[in-house]
Structure 1
Amino acid sequence: MATFLWGLASIALSLAALMAFAWVVQQRTGNSGWVDTIWTFSVGLVGACSALWPIAGEGSGARQWLVAGLVAIWSLRLGTHIAIRTIGITDDPRYAAFAADWGLNAPRRMFVFLQNQALGSVPLVFAIFVAAHVPLPALRVQDVVGAAILLIGIAGEALADAQLRCFRHDPANRGKVCDVGLWRWSRHPNYFFEWLGWLAYPVIGLSAGYPWGWASLLAPVFMYWILVHVTGIPPLEAQMLRSRGERYRVYQSRTSMFFPLPPREGMAA
């Protein structure tokens, strides 16, 4: 038990330090888009290291390498995507709106906000840690299933990002709302597939006689909460309503917010 508690503390301290670095970058550059880039790489780095961290003097086994590889693939794909997007903007409108509301207290409030983000990321990385350290030597079918779920999540999110990018690059779509491909079925298909990928860790981590495995359920629960109720959908939809107005309200009325569902018909854009 002490080993897992020490791992939890190490994860928390590492994430706090890395998000403090994200705050420094945001303050120096004035571009809060780098916050999400650093967060993604931070979760990937700490997650992969925690997966490979030996317990009771044992070396890294196949499951540890599998989990470390999966989180590394996720982090590199998403982090690179966000970094490329950030290079092309002057600031992230979601964080810019927060800063405008905070006024002169924006630097201090941003630091606290990012530390809260680090704290909220601890359950995610701890889920990676406990999934990697299931005390069974050989890979099981459920490990393969978990890996498949994460890879499907990565592929689905990449497809949604590509569809949105192509839509935005077409001059004919200027000022319009993306409602093609996956975006016709969900207003945030990239967020849905991001959440789906985190279901991989309880699939891998839950095992008979391994009580710590229940902690892996924290990953999809916290990711859903973050995306749907905190830093994901609420500020993004507020920004879209400001920039697209009635077009986005019509899109909201016919399209599922999160889970992909057939669009409701009879409502024109």
Structure 2
Amino acid sequence: MEAYPLIIFALWLSLAMTSAWAIQRATGRSGWIDTIWSLAVGIGGISATLLADGNFDRRLTVLLFVALWSLRLASHIGARTRRSKEDPRYAQFLQEWGEQAAWRLFIFLQAQAIAAFILVLAIYLAAENDAYFLGPLDVIAIIVALVALCGETLADAQLARFRKSPGAGTGICEVGLWRYSRHPNYFFEWLFWCCFPFFALSQAVLSWLSLLAPMMMYWLLVRVSGIPPLEEYMLRSRGDKFRAVQKRVNAFFPGPRKSVTQLHGETW
């Protein structure tokens, strides 16, 4: 694994997130940040597959999955940003930062560039694998990627449909996949990044670094910038209605809903 592609990826991602910061300051819409981030990771990932020296068929497969992920997520967030107000997570951050919001947002987005670099590194390591393609680990990787992309697309579509229904402004989505996880879109987003270690793992010494991608995504989504600020917003805007959902529906991993009897049993 050569160092110069990694330097190029790091510089590109830092520049992309600097542009995202400038656009947010100019428009006041933080949704463009995640749109640009998705495209930046996608462009970086596609470049990684082109610069890598691994098996051609595996590189092509990884490229297609990265392109599908990036275009789908960026178009979804971009469309949502055009028709909605400020992202509640970023709005909360900006409010907490007060007069220091501008420079703290800049630092925060550079941290996002570092996170994006870890993801692109996983893609690069997957594309560097020169072992025979379509072995057992490749089959697992393809299945994981397909399930993740289809699951996240379905979850986003179900939420978008719910938001158009009467009473959505004060209600909580519990239809389809949202019956079994409070954040199925986050779950499938994390699951997608689990495919790259399967593509990457081989005899290469550094292939284990690809595991950092799903580990980091889980930490970010569950502990930092995903679920915590979004659920704080939901508690402020939905109150006891959302607290009831928290008690009966898993936060991240899909699972069976708790019945009223089970809830009463836990209470006692």
Alignment equivalent of 1:253, drawn from 224, 232, 247 = 247
| Maintained 8 Å contact 1:241/1:249 | yes
Kindly indicate whether residue 122 of structure 2 is the aligned counterpart of residue 124 of structure 1. Answer: no
Matches within 5 A, 1:25-64: 25-55=23-53, 61-64=56-59
What corresponds to 1:83 in structure 2?
Answer: 78
What is the alpha-carbon distance in structure 1 between the residues aligned to residue 244 and residue 64 of structure 2? 41
**Cα distance, 1:65 vs. partner?**
1.3
What is the alpha-carbon distance in structure 2 between the residues aligned to residue 193 and residue 205 of structure 1? 20
**Cα distance, 1:137 vs. partner?**
5.3
Superposition misfits of 4+ residues, deviation over 6 angstroms? none
Matched residue of 1:48: which SS? helix
| Maintained 8 Å contact 1:48/1:68 | yes
What is the alpha-carbon distance in structure 2 between the residues aligned to residue 174 and residue 93 of structure 1? 14
What corresponds to 1:214 in structure 2?
Answer: 208
| Maintained 8 Å contact 1:61/1:137 | no
What corresponds to 2:109 in structure 1?
Answer: 114
What is the alpha-carbon distance in structure 2 between the residues aligned to residue 105 and residue 241 of structure 1? 26
Matched residue of 1:211: which SS? coil
State the TM-score, normalized to the length of structure 1: 0.93
What is the alpha-carbon distance in structure 2 between the residues aligned to residue 138 and residue 184 of structure 1? 38
Give deviations 1:61-90, integer Å, cap 9, x for gaps.
111111111100000111110001000123
Residues paired across the two proteins, number: 262
**Cα distance, 1:27 vs. partner?**
0.7
Alignment equivalent of 1:236, drawn from 213, 230, 233 = 230
Alignment equivalent of 1:198, drawn from 190, 193, 196 = 193
What is the alpha-carbon distance in structure 2 between the residues aligned to residue 25 and residue 42 of structure 1? 14
Question: RMSD across aligned C-alpha pairs, in angstroms?
Answer: 1.6
| Maintained 8 Å contact 1:7/1:50 | yes
**Percent identity of the aligned residues?**
47
What corresponds to 1:227 in structure 2?
Answer: 221
What is the alpha-carbon distance in structure 2 between the residues aligned to residue 129 and residue 54 of structure 1? 6
**Structure 2 runs not aligned, ≥5 long:** none
> Which letter does structure 2 place at the counterpart of 1:24?
A
What is the alpha-carbon distance in structure 2 between the residues aligned to residue 88 and residue 173 of structure 1? 16
> Which letter does structure 2 place at the counterpart of 1:132?
A
**Cα distance, 1:229 vs. partner?**
1.1
| Maintained 8 Å contact 1:130/1:205 | yes
**Cα distance, 1:97 vs. partner?**
1.1
What is the alpha-carbon distance in structure 2 between the residues aligned to residue 121 and residue 219 of structure 1? 9
Structure 2 vs 1, CA of residues 172 and 97 (structure 1 numbering), >3 Å: closer, same or farther? closer
| Maintained 8 Å contact 2:52/2:127 | no
**Structure 1 runs not aligned, ≥5 long:** none
Give deviations 1:108-131, integer Å, cap 9, x for gaps.
111011001111221111000001
State the TM-score, normalized to the length of structure 2: 0.93
Matched residue of 1:10: which SS? helix
Alignment equivalent of 1:69, drawn from 48, 64, 71 = 64
Matched residue of 2:206: which SS? helix
What is the alpha-carbon distance in structure 2 between the residues aligned to residue 98 and residue 181 of structure 1? 30
